């Protein structure tokens, strides 16, 4: 399968956040392979996630129909977990990651959750900065979780009576 052409940001490019549907899965899985390589989710994993009632997934879609990001959250009150969040390389650093994360936070609050947790590679500076900017704090570490010497950090944000921190669009 060939990779889709990268999305080129421009002033007339319209991008919106919408619910992930089955017809977005192929493109989301392809983007996942590009961004996460050997830890990427298969299309079957996306299908399985979308089938669960305590999940919510969104995609970033351009006006030309290209999927350029996605994110998902799972919840079992009082806790929720960020399952994934990703923005295509060509669209990064434009505020879309923050927009997706804020959407997940809102979903978790509406699901009556009091804590939002996530797991992130300790060497993923971009993601850690994004989470820290949105009020997440590190609560523990799983040594070599992603392979020898690549730790996972567990981060948490309290959802009760805490306004969004960081930029909103
Ligand atoms: C992490 C990720 C989703 C951020 O998406 P994004 O659209 O680039 O993020 P935003 O433009 O909304 O940036 C929000 C904040 O994140 C941090 N950030 C984003 N990219 C960064 C980078 N390259 N270096 C350092 N900090 C960065 C900054 O704090 C930024 O705020 P600022 O622009 O005011 O400085 C994106 O880099 C990505 O998809 N990475 C690959 C997949 C991944 O690692 N996902 C996380 C799995 S846990």
pLDDT band at residue 169 using 50, 70 and 90 as cut-offs = very low
Coil, strand or helix: which one is 157?
Answer: strand
Residue 34, ligand 1, Cβ within 6 A: no
pLDDT value of residue 2: 42
Query: What is the structure's pLDDT at 13?
Result: 77
Q: How far apart are CA 118 and CA 38, in angstroms?
A: 20
CATH number at residue 119: 3.40.630.30
Q: Tell me the C-alpha distance between 155 and 40, whole Å.
A: 21
DSSP state of 160: T
Domain that residue 100 falls in: 15-158
Q: How far apart are CA 57 and CA 70, in angstroms?
A: 7
Out of 92, 118, 145, mutate this one to test ligand 1's pocket (max ligand atoms within 8 Å of CB): namely 92
Residue 168 lies in a domain: no
Domain count, the chain: 1
The closest-lying atom of ligand 1 relative to the alpha carbon of residue 36 is 42
Does any domain span residue 137?
A: yes
Kindly report the protein residue whose alpha carbon is nearest to atom 17 of ligand 1: 130
For residue 42, give both structure tokens.
């298969």
Which residue from 94, 163, 96, 168 is spatially nearest to 135, judged by alpha carbons? Answer: 163
Does the pLDDT of residue 155 top 80, yes or no? yes
Cβ(95) – ligand 1 distance below 6 Å: yes
Q: What percent of the chain has pLDDT over 70?
A: 88
Each residue's pLDDT tens digit, 83-92 = 999 999 999 9
Q: Is residue 167 part of a domain?
A: no
% pLDDT > 90, the chain:
83
pLDDT at 86 (0 to 100): 98
- Is position 144 within any domain? yes
Instruction: Assess if residue 5 is contained within a domain.
Output: no
On the question of pLDDT at 70 being above 70, the answer is yes
Ligand 1 neighbourhood includes 40 CB (under 6 angstroms): no
Q: Is the pLDDT assigned to residue 99 strictly greater than 70?
A: yes
Q: Is 165 in the pocket of ligand 1 (CB under 6 A)?
A: no
Q: What is the pLDDT of residues 2-38, one digit of tens each?
A: 455 677 766 667 999 999 999 999 999 999 999 999 8
- Helix, strand, or coil (residue 150): coil
Assess if residue 70 is contained within a domain.
Answer: yes
4 falls within a domain: no
pLDDT at 145: 94
Give me the residues paired with residue 117 across strands. 81, 156
Q: What is the pLDDT of residue 163?
A: 53
Question: Is position 130 within any domain?
Answer: yes
- For ligand 1, atom 34, name the residue with the nearest CA: 167
Least confident piece of the model among 25-29, 60-64, 136-140? 60-64
What's the gap in Å between 86 CA and the centre of ligand 1?
A: 9
**Residue scoring higher pLDDT (132 or 11):** 132
Report pLDDT for 161.
56
Do residues 110 and 24 make contact, with C-beta atoms less than 8 angstroms apart? no
The model carries a pTM of 0.92
């Amino acid at each position: 399968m060939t990779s889709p052409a990268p999305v080129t940001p421009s002033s007339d490019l319209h991008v919106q956040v919408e619910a992930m549907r089955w017809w977005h899965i192929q493109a989301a899985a392809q983007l996942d392979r590009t961004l996460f390589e050997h830890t990427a989710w298969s299309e079957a994993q996306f299908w399985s996630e979308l089938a669960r009632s305590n999940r919510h997934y969104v995609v970033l879609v351009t006006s030309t129909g290209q999927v350029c990001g996605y994110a998902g959250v799972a919840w079992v009150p009082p806790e929720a977990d960020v399952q994934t969040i990703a923005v295509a390389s060509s669209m990064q650093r434009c505020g879309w990651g923050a927009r997706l994360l804020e959407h997940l936070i809102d979903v978790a609050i509406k699901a009556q959750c009091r804590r939002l947790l996530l797991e992130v590679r300790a060497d993923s500076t971009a993601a850690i900065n994004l989470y820290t900017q949105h009020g997440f704090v590190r609560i523990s570490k799983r040594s070599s979780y992603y392979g020898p010497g690549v730790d996972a950090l567990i981060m948490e944000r309290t959802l009760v009576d805490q306004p969004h921190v960081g930029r909103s669009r």
